[in-house]
Amino acid sequence: MRVGWRGLLGVLMVAGLVSPAAGRADVAPGDVITTANAEKVKDLVSPGMYWCVQHGWPMKIVEPKSVPWPELYKQATEKYSGQVKLGEDRLTMKGYVAGMPFPNVDAADKDAAIKIMHNFNYRVDMAHDDLDLRNFDADTGPISTDQPLQVERHFLIDHFRRLWYVSRLYVDPKPELPNPDGIHYKETLHPLLEPFDLKGVGFTYYRYLDPARQDDSWLYMPSLRRVRRLSTAQRSDALFGQDTDQDSYGGYAGQIAWSTWKFIGEGEALGAFHAEHFPVKWADGAANWAFDDVWEKRKVWIIEGESKLPQYAYSKRVIYIDKETYAALYSDMYDRAGELWKIWVNDFSWKNEAFPGAKPSYQEITPFLPAIVMVDMQLNHATKASLPSHRFPGETGWYFHQGDKEGTTEDQFTIAELINSGR
The pLDDT assigned to 25 comes to 83
Q: What is the pLDDT of residues 341-400, one digit of tens each?
A: 999 999 999 999 999 999 999 999 999 999 999 999 999 999 999 999 999 999 999 999
Angstrom CA distances, 414 to 165, 189, 190, 249, stand at: 15, 12, 11, 21
Q: What is the pLDDT of residues 192-214, one digit of tens each?
A: 999 999 999 999 999 999 999 99
State the average pLDDT over residues 114-139: 97
What's the rounded Cα separation, in Å, for the pair 288 and 59?
Answer: 13
Q: What is the pLDDT of residues 9-53, one digit of tens each?
A: 443 343 333 344 445 789 999 999 999 999 999 999 999 999 999
Q: Give one DSSP letter per residue of 299-362, joined into a string.
A: EEEEEEEEE--TT-S-SEEEEEEETTT--EEEEEEE-TTS-EEEEEEEEEEEESSSSTT-SS--
Mean pLDDT, rounded, of the chain? 93
pTM: 0.94
Contact status, residue 58 vs residue 290, Cβ threshold 8 Å: yes
State the average pLDDT over residues 331-341: 98
The pLDDT assigned to 23 comes to 59
Confidence band, pLDDT 50/70/90 cuts, at residue 223: confident
The residue length of the chain stands at: 423
CA–chain centroid gap for 376, Å, is 16
Instruction: Check whether 411 has a pLDDT greater than 70.
Output: yes
Alpha-carbon dihedral of residues 50, 51, 54, 56, nearest 10 degrees? -110
The pLDDT assigned to 105 comes to 98
